[in-house]
Structure formats: structure tokens, C-alpha cells
């Protein structure tokens, strides 16, 4: 089954430039892509789930935090016909060198918040890629290497009626894999939100940090599984 997806791409550079492109493309359901990604010591990250989970917001925060850290980043968003409840994902490329192709081909890091998101992206994962997933909605086969399960949606529901689930995810990956430093993510959150929304987002991000810390102590390979900036 094919679907239309609207892609919104924000291109950032370490020099502070910002470019927005909006276009509609026809993509196969498998999300297979032609071309390649050439990155010098970087991350290919996919935040995937359903509409309404703030995945575009999360990708934008991650990309801006990378730029704040002096790296280059590209962020794009894809979603189905239903804006809320349908398939949605955000892709982020982070590199300390030039990004020559602005789309993720084989994710190093996949955050999967729904079963559909996992099933679509798992076959595309890089050979040494890692997955952070929600075990309440994603059921990987037993013995999958590089899979880390956290009840992100449950925590977000408890803290802020589910609105901050992507912030919980960002806190977890910031501790386990450090694509960017946690404090840079926090700075971007403070710059982009205010009032009650800022408070909720900070609560969710901080909870994600705390959820990952004991897990990292038990699985020290998580943080060091890839040599990234």
C-alpha cells in the first residue's frame, strides 16, 4: 500500500543558517529510499510513532541542540493522511562534517512509539543500530540485540496527559547514547516553550533522564555502542 506523505524539512548549519522546504512526495509504504547518506562521524536518527505525539517537535529540538553544540544537522518530518493518530515520524541527521544527502537511509538510532513505527523502520536499521521502544505498544521478537524498552507513553500520561512523550524519549537517548549533550537539549526546550507547556516538557525530559540512568549503569555498552560526537 502506498501513501502520500508531506515532508517538511528544516536544514540547519553550524553557522546558524536556517532554511525551510515544504514539499509533497510519493513514498512507498516501506519507506525505502534511493541515494545514500555520507556523514563524517554522525547520527542518523528516526523518531517514529503516531500523529499527536510531538515527533516533529522532538526532531526540531534535537536538531537545534546539535547546532547549539557546534554540529551540523538536518531535520525532516513525514506523516500520513491523518494528522492525529496516523503514522508520523521525524528524521534527524547529525554530523560534525558536511551532510551530503539530507534524508535518513539506515537509522543508527530508532525511537519507536508504536508497533507500526517499529515494523516500518526495523528492516532499515543500520547493522549496529539501536532501538528505544515502548513495550506497551511495540513487541519485538525475543533476543533482539540493541533493543531498549521503556514505558515512555505511560510516564508521559502520568506527568502531562501524554503530550510530552517525545521529551521522555529525548531524555532517555540523551543519557544512553548522547547524540547531543543533555544540557543543550534543555537549553533549546527553554528557548522554544513557556508557561505550563515549558513546565510539562521539562518534567518529561527530566523523567526520561532519570529513567535511563539506572539502565545505563546495568548496561554500560549502551552509551559506548557507537563512536559519535
Q: How confident is the model at residue 80 (pLDDT cuts 50, 70, 90)?
A: low
Residue 28 has pLDDT above 70, yes or no: no
Residue 61 has pLDDT above 50, yes or no: yes
Percent of the chain with pLDDT over 70: 74
Domain parsing of the chain, residue ranges: 3-218
Q: Which cell goes with 213?
A: 540512568
Residue 53 has pLDDT above 50, yes or no: yes
Domain 3-218 has CATH 3.90.550.10: no
Chain centroid to Cα 99, Å, comes to: 18
For 32, residues 6+ apart whose C-beta sits below 8 A from its C-beta are: 124
More confident site: 227 or 200: 200
In order of 114, 116, 130, 146, the CA distances from 142 in angstroms are 17, 18, 15, 12
Question: What distance, in Å, lies between the first and last C-alpha atoms of the chain?
Answer: 38
Average pLDDT over residues 42-70: 94
**Partner residues linked to 88 by β-bridges:** 49, 79
Write down the pLDDT at residue 41: 59
Residue 40 has pLDDT above 60, yes or no: no
Write down the pLDDT at residue 51: 87
Write down the pLDDT at residue 77: 87
d(CA 68, CA 180): 9
Is residue 143 exposed (0-12), middle (13-18) or buried (19+ Cβ within 10 Å)? exposed
**Phi, psi angle pair for 200, to nearest 5°:** -65, -45
d(CA 156, CA 173): 16
d(CA 95, CA 78): 21
pLDDT 10s digits, 178-221: 999 999 999 999 999 999 999 999 999 999 999 999 887 766 54
Write down the pLDDT at residue 32: 24
Residue 141 has pLDDT above 70, yes or no: yes
Amino acid at each position: 500500500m502506498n501513501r502520500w506523505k508531506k515532508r517538511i524539512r528544516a536544514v540547519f548549519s553550524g553557522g546558524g543558517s536556517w532554511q525551510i522546504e515544504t514539499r509533497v512526495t510519493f513514498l512507498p509504504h516501506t519507506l525505502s529510499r534511493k541515494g545514500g547518506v555520507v556523514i563524517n562521524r554522525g547520527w542518523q536518527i528516526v523518531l517514529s510513532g503516531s500523529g499527536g505525539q510531538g515527533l516533529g517537535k522532538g526532531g526540531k529540538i534535537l536538531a537545534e541542540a546539535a547546532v547549539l553544540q557546534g554540529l551540523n544537522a538536518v531535520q525532516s518530518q513525514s506523516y500520513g493522511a491523518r494528522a492525529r493518530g496516523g503514522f508520523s515520524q521525524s528524521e534527524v541527521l547529525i554530523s560534525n562534517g558536511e551532510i551530503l544527502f539530507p534524508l535518513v537511509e539506515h537509522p543508527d538510532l530508532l525511537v519507536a512509539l508504536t508497533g507500526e513505527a517499529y515494523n516500518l523502520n526495523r528492516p532499515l536499521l543500520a547493522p549496529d543500530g539501536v532501538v528505544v521502544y515502548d513495550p506497551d505498544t511495540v513487541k519485538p521478537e525475543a533476543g533482539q540485540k540493541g533493543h531498549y524498552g521503556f514505558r515512555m507513553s505511560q510516564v508521559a500520561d502520568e506527568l502531562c496527559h501524554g503530550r510530552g512523550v517525545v521529551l521522555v524519549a529525548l531524555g532517555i537517548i540523551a543519557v544512553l547514547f548522547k547524540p547531543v549533550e543533555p544540557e543543550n537539549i534543555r537549553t533549546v526546550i527553554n528557548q522554544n516553550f513557556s508557561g505550563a507547556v515549558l513546565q510539562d516538557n521539562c518534567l518529561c525530559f527530566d523523567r526520561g533522564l532519570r529513567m535511563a540512568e539506572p539502565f545505563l549503569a546495568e548496561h554500560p555498552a549502551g552509551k559506548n555502542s557507537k563512536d559519535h560526537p
